[in-house]
Amino acid sequence: MILDFHTHNQQATEAIISVMPQEFDPQQGKRYSVGIHPWRSQQVTPAMLDALHTAVRHPQVAAIGETGLDALRGAPLPIQQSLFQEHITLAEQLGKPLIIHMVRTSQQVLKAWRESQRAVPWVIHGMRGNPRVAQPLIDAGFYLSFGPRFNPATVAATPLDRLLIETDDNTATAIHQVAQAIAQARGIPTQHLITTVTANAHNLLPQP
């Protein structure tokens, strides 16, 4: 069962644990996503890319990322875009979904989607944008993953079958607290939300 769709806490269970390629050290029974974070896009080495290409093939790696585009941090956008493209290609080759970090780059992410094969699900993680940013992503078929900080109107506008929850790098908030807050914003019982996001994760991830 996957409840927390994106965490950097390697101790987590019922979660997709997101790591950089050189950190990947699979523990029994856990599932991971591996990618080069856009904040690290300035320091990419050939060894890191080799490690990425090897790690993503591991059966315990359920998704590719986090990857994506950040207009406020990391390398200049063209460099981030070519690194993002590398992850998109791997995701499509391996049939594993993409976990995307998106900061003030929704137009560029949507453009990358339109130019991609659209063969695997794309998940925007840590979604904080308003409904105006979210709607074109929802229309394009993206999943939206919400953490402790979110825009309630965006949660309310997200179809239940496209909704995921996460803790990301937040150690102060438990995933059940996130579930409670999102359920409240969505106007449904917490248990219904938990059942729904678990089923969504199950549907979009490759079967272990």
Task: Give the footprint of Zn ion on this chain (CB under 5 A).
Answer: 168
Beta bridge partners of 165: 4, 146
Name the minimum Å distance from CB 166 to Zn ion.
8
Residue nearest to Zn ion (CB): 168
Name the minimum Å distance from CB 187 to Zn ion.
27
C-beta of 70 vs 191, nearer to Zn ion: 70
| Cα 136–Cα 90–Cα 75 angle in degrees, nearest 5 | 70
Name the minimum Å distance from CB 101 to Zn ion.
6
C-beta of 4 vs 168, nearer to Zn ion: 168
Residue 68 carries which DSSP code? E
**CB contact at 8 A, 83 and 67:** yes
What angle in degrees, to the nearest 10, is found between the helix axes of 106-115 and 131-140? Answer: 10
Amino acid symbol at 189:
P
**CB contact at 8 A, 46 and 31:** no
C-beta of 39 vs 190, nearer to Zn ion: 39
Name the minimum Å distance from CB 37 to Zn ion.
7
User: How far apart are the C-alpha atoms of 123 and 185, rounded to whole Å?
Assistant: 20
C-beta of 9 vs 13, nearer to Zn ion: 9
